[in-house]
Amino acid sequence: MKISVAGTGYVGLVAGVCFAEKGHNVTCVDVDENKVKLMESGVSPIYEQDLEELMQKNYKEGRLHFTTDYKSAYKDADAIFIGVGTPEQPDGSANLSYVATVSRQIAETVEKDCLVVVKSTVPIGTNDKVEQFIKDSLVHDVKIEVASNPEFLAQGTAVRDTLQAKRIVIGTESKEAEAKLKEIYESFNLPIVSVSRRSAEMIKYASNDFLALKISYMNDIANLCELVGANIEDVAEGMSYDPRIGSNFLRAGIGYGGSCFPKDTKALKYLAKQHGHKLKTIEAAVDVNSAQKVKLFKKASDRMITFQGLKVAILGLTFKPGTDDLREAPSLDNVELLLNSGADNIYAYDPVGEENFKKRYPTQINYCKTPEEVLKDANICFIFTEWNEIKAIKPEEYKKLMKTPLVYDGRNIYNLEDMKNAGVEYYSIGR
């Protein structure tokens, strides 16, 4: 089938590459000409496991194309997937301007009957508005239907999460649209949950926010564990054997980040408020996560008289391993607090996030190529991301390399006894 995908971020590019891998003829559309040229040269604009290899393969085999010319991409497509960003606005609502722009472009260019599929995460009812907007603006006499097909990928495992998804959710308002979407996904050979458009939109928010709730709950319990002398890892292990709870998302830490959980919890909170409903659980998750991000800094502030003149080591900048994404990363909040507190000698290491961090802090941070360089003669160390390169550092290396072996670990990488035996003053979460 001839498919066009609007947007080449995490959602759009991964979807386009995976559709091509499953045999469809795919054209990915982006407004950035330099980005298109980069992808045509075989370089992925985002760091994602297996994505670049599959992108190169399908481009060479002629199933995957990149362009800025949306008119040629949309005019005779069988299906157009909208995968553009829906960033958070100051009030927590989703910014739908990019979705609206693509919808207008589709309306002005399609020359044959077409299924428009919204993959972007959008507030409930948006697909209805998109369909009406396109129909109101149509230039040619064609039939357009809009379907919802939310993504459930995690950054770092996005390709696998798409090709080996636990389920594919499709939201349609006609048997024709449902049949076409099922045909598109037939070669994936995965379970399909077919519901109404609004239910599909809600499934996306409800799923993401439930996981955010789980994380915030464990972080809240971890904070209580510290006060009463329990160990959150022991608690999590005991909980994990209960099949009603499961073992995933039970790790305590310094909060969630990324492009989904922070944005989607605030968006659902905003949506509920607009309908006169208060989502108390979601509001609690947002509040807990906001406070959790800076828990390490507050611990360190209680211990230190000043950060000025000290070498501060930071290990890990991205919000999680396996991605170069910094959106809502705890490192950002903590670096800002450190700078505002007078820290003037900060050294940082991240295997892939350095370039993105430099865009925000080009001169205030000293960037290093190895963890050892960061730790050398440091007075204090913060761990924000559990990259394998960081987990590989042995406890005794902190004692050997640092001027003062003082470590604040937001990801509970190390065993308490191991750090104590190595002579490291070690602070973690919930232990």
Are 256 and 214 in contact by the 8 Å Cβ rule? The answer is: no
Q: Give me 110's structure tokens.
A: 């399609």
CA angle 167, 170, 176 (to 5 degrees): 135
Reduced DSSP (H G I as helix, E B as strand, rest coil) percent helix, strand, coil of the chain, to 5 = 45, 15, 40
| CA nearest neighbour of 19 among 119, 94, 88 | 119
The C-alpha torsion from 373 through 374 and 377 to 381, rounded to 10°, is -150
388: how many CB neighbours lie within 10 A of its CB? 9
The single residue listed with the structure tokens 């590459």 is 17
Per the CB < 8 A criterion, the answer to whether 122 and 201 are in contact is yes
Distance CA 162, CA 336 (A): 35
Report residue 377 as tokens. Answer: 């003669």
Catalytic position from the list 28, 260, 368, 381: 260
Structure tokens given for 38: 């980069």
CA dihedral 151, 329, 49, 67 (to 10 degrees): 60
Amino acid at 369: K
Classified as helix, coil or strand, 394 is coil
d(CA 145, CA 254): 43
Q: Give exposure, 64-76, as e/b (b: 16+ Cβ within 10 Å).
A: bbbbeebeebbbe
The H-assigned helical ranges of 229-342 are 232-240, 261-274, 280-292, 295-303, 330-340
CB 169 within 8 A of CB 195: yes
Our answer to whether residue 225 is catalytic in this structure is no
In the three-class reduction of DSSP (H, G, I as helix; E, B as strand; rest coil), residue 114 is classed as: strand
Counting every residue written for the chain, the total comes to 431
**Phi and psi angles of residue 251, each rounded to the nearest 5 degrees, phi first:** -80, 125
Q: Which residues are catalytic?
A: 260
